[in-house]
Amino acid sequence: MKNSIFKFKHFQIDQSRSAMKIGTDGVLLGAWTPIDSNPKTILDVGTGTGLIALMLAQRLPESRITAVEIEKTAAEESFDNFTNSSWSKRLCLIHDNIIDFSENSKVFFDLIVSNPPFFKNSFKVSDATRSTARDNFHMSYEDLFSCVNILLSPSGSFAMVCPIEYREELITKAELNQLYLERELMIKGTKSSSFKRILMQFSRTKTILKTEELILEESRNHRTFEHQKLVNDFYL
């Protein structure tokens, strides 16, 4: 299949079977997620192809990463991508939904990451598998924050990406689960365009919010210096 293998500097991803292909959102989250605390246990919720888990395995050589994926085909593909990487012994794939996983897990995680569903139930997606990956029917934001609250260690953090129009709603839902926005990166395609996405980091402690901005392109297919610097360790 054309473009089924996506090659990065230190790993490659077969995305021929997964409904949701590699996109800018996942790459940005994997590259941006703060790791100042040097987390040892990491959870990737809805791993898809395994992209973010692999990026964090590269960034954190002493970490152990668990990736949960509900969709069977994506789970099989991410498992293969983990197996074919240099970090296979530190990566674990769980085929399950995050609610059941959170109820049965005996591990608390120092870092949780997720590129979660974007679309409300009213948003129609033609492909059923793609709908599973992106429709809130299978994992609502309420479910996500509730599970993060259960699984996150006392000093841990949670990082995610979402459309910027959901920002206020997500802050409210997070605070209902004793999670507070600590850092955010607002993203837009070009200098003249509006902000479309936001990367958010939550923790259990209320702190002064750090807000930053990122412009992706100077011109079509030409990354800005800041964008290139962020992803330089990954893209060929």
**What pLDDT digit, counting tens, does each position of 111-128 carry?**
999 998 654 443 333 455
pLDDT score at 130: 44
What is the percent of the chain where pLDDT is above 90? 84
Q: Is the pLDDT of residue 216 over 90?
A: yes
- 110 vs 139: which has the higher pLDDT: 110
Using CA atoms, how far residue 232 sits from 41, 44, 223, 224, in Å, is: 25, 22, 11, 12
pLDDT score of 133: 40
What's the rounded Cα separation, in Å, for the pair 234 and 236? Answer: 7
Which of 41-45, 138-142, 195-199 is least confident? 138-142
Is the model's pLDDT at 217 over the cut of 70?
yes
Mean of pLDDT values over 78-100: 97
Give the DSSP per-residue string, the chain: -TT-EEEBSS-EEE-SS-SS---HHHHHHHHHS--TT--SEEEEES-TTSHHHHHHHHH-TT-EEEEEE-SHHHHHHHHHHHHTSTTGGGEEEEES-HHHHHHH----EEEEEE----B-TTS--SSHHHHHHHBTTTS-HHHHHHHHHHHEEEEEEEEEEEEGGGHHHHHHHHHTTT-EEEEEEEEESSTTSPEEEEEEEEESS----EEEEEE-EEETTEE-HHHHHHHTTTB-
CA distance 31 to 234: 8
Question: Which domains can be identified in the chain, with CATH numbers?
Answer: 5-231 (3.40.50.150)
Rounded Cα distance between 58 and 235, Å, is 13
Entry pTM: 0.91
